[in-house]
Amino acid sequence: MKTFAESKFPGRLIAVEGLDGSGKSTQIYLLKRWLEAEGIKVYFSEWNSSELVKSATSKGKKRELLTPTTFSLIHATDFADRYERHLVPLLRAGYIVLCDRYIFTAFARDVTRGCPPDWVRGNYSFACAPDLTMFFKADLEVSLNRILEGRPKLKFFEAGMDLRLSNDPYESFKIFQGRILDQYLAMTKEFNFVIIDANEPAERQQVIVRKLVSDRIELRKFKRRRPLPLPPALRKRREVESNDQDKEEDKIA
Amino acid sequence: MSQSHRFYGHGIPHVNAQDLGGKLIVVEGADGSGRSTQIADLVTWLETSGHATVQVGLKRSTLVSEELERAQEGNVLSRTTLALFYATDFADQLENIILPALKSGFIVLADRYIYTLMARDMVRGMNEAWLKNLYGIAPEPDAVFYLSVEPQELVQRNLSKTATLDYWESGMDLGLSRDMFDSFLKYQTAMGEAFRQLEKSYHFDIIDANRLVGSVTRVLRKKISALLAKK
């Protein structure tokens, strides 16, 4: 699998992976804030967020209609939609694209659900590999506590209840997450994950993340040449303001 | 009852192809090939003869059919997304209708199957090997009847039925021609070529459906009788 750089895309894609509660979303959010402040062309994309596919996915989840196969395919559809309509054009235009979860989430989850690894990987083979994949590795207990403290009601698929691991959603969630973690760890070498110790305090992780990103990617190449154009409403106000100013200046003259 | 089936590829997790009895009969062909008419006849005929029958088709799943319909109205899906969306629709019907019916020994009549989906995607530039992996979830049918009709004849039949040509059946998303009539002919020709390409890997029983409905019906009934007698 070639990276975007190897496939001659002007843009670069950075992905974060990890269990729920590993703190990866916080880290990629902070990374985004930093890159934006640096004046870099950056776009953020989240797993399972395509508007088109969302209603089908949520219906499937709510009504528990999904099997391992349709679960896998509907997420692949969602990814393809974001990939073809957002990621590829942005990467062609020289953006840094940040992905909160990428195809490895599917590789880990779908295989845990019983889908054949070759089949899942084949379905996603239209996608290039990230230029940098950071895997946030927290102790299983730490991840579990973060999730279970914050959100006491676990959803059916989130808890892996479809796998019939346990009748208790909490027990099921623990076993399920443990299996996903095993899948991730088995992929680490193959897909060049950079492992970030997610047991560390968030600030310290962010220092490591920013250092890693600036070492791996020549960031100045991704700066906007001009500042972003103002949205029309603001632009009008500015024009009015500067006209008023002109009048004032006329008076003084 | 009958001999078991096999999957084209990996199949479906936790489903053993050995457990699939019944018969899976597929009728393929473009709009205007007489597919629906033939299937309606076959259902009546089979049920009258005492065979439990179930029907499936494209874009009929509980899971995604509405969303797929909506997405197509705006024509906003790009080709990989469309391919995967249709595959999801197929998989949902496969697991909820086709497989349970086969396990119970029913006859499943499929109004088009993975081949139309693959051919459409191939015409849109998707890779054949990618499609074969994707549709490795499908069980191999007991028979695939491809109702072959010349594009020129298809045009006539579609126009006489609805006085219009369908946007997607004319492949208008491909920009083959701005003229719908020309686009329809070009697209149907390309679809025919894609089917011929697929025929190298999958077995189709090609039926000349340029003929009158009744004579196609007789051919189909005869072939299916032979299939059912084989057991």
pLDDT of residue A152: 67
Q: Which two tokens stand for residue B7?
A: 């999957």
Instruction: Calculate how close chain B gets to A163, using CA atoms only, in Å.
Output: 11
CA distance B86 to B61: 10
**Beta carbons of A69 and B64 less than 8 Å apart:** no
Which of A62, A73, A121 is the best residue to mutate to test the B interface, defined by the most B CB atoms within 10 Å of its own CB? A73
The tokens 């499929």 sit on which residue? Answer: B110
pLDDT in tens, A90-139: 999 999 999 999 999 999 999 999 999 999 999 999 999 999 999 999 98
Q: What structural domains and CATH numbers belong to chain A?
A: 12-252 (3.40.50.300)
pTM comes to 0.88
pLDDT of residue A225: 78
**Beta carbons of A65 and B137 less than 8 Å apart:** no
**Beta carbons of A53 and B133 less than 8 Å apart:** no
Q: Which of B79, B88, B130 is facing A125, going by the closest CB pair?
A: B130
The DSSP result for chain A, as a single string, is --BTTTTT-SSEEEEEEE-TTSSHHHHHHHHHHHHHHTTB-EEEEETT--HHHHHHHHHHHHTT---HHHHHHHHHHHHHHHIIIIIHHHHHTTPEEEEES-HHHHHHHHHHTT--HHHHHHHTTTSPBPSEEEEEE--HHHHHHHHHHH--S--TTTTTGGG-S-SSHHHHHHHHHHHHHHHHHHHTTTTTEEEEETTS-HHHHHHHHHHHHHHHS-GGGGB-SSPPPPPHHHHHHHHHHHHHHHHHHHHH-
pLDDT in tens, A64-103: 889 999 999 999 999 999 999 999 999 999 999 999 999 9
CA distance B138 to B130: 14
pLDDT in tens, B193-212: 999 999 999 999 999 999 99
Residue B1 has pLDDT above 50, yes or no: no
pLDDT in tens, B113-148: 999 999 999 999 999 999 999 999 999 999 999 999
Domain boundaries defined on chain B: 17-144+212-230
Instruction: Calculate how close chain A gets to B138, using CA atoms only, in Å.
Output: 11
| CB contact at 8 A, A114 and B13 | yes
Q: Provide the ipTM.
A: 0.89
Q: Mean pLDDT of all residues in chain B?
A: 94
Options 3.90.1650.10, 3.40.50.1980, 3.40.50.300, 3.40.50.1820; CATH of B17-144+212-230:
3.40.50.300
pLDDT of residue A253: 47
Q: Which positions in chain B have a beta carbon within 8 angstroms of at least one beta carbon in chain A?
A: 9-10, 12-14, 62-64, 66-68, 71, 76-81, 83-85, 87-88, 91-92, 94-95, 130, 133-134, 136-137
**Beta carbons of B13 and A74 less than 8 Å apart:** no
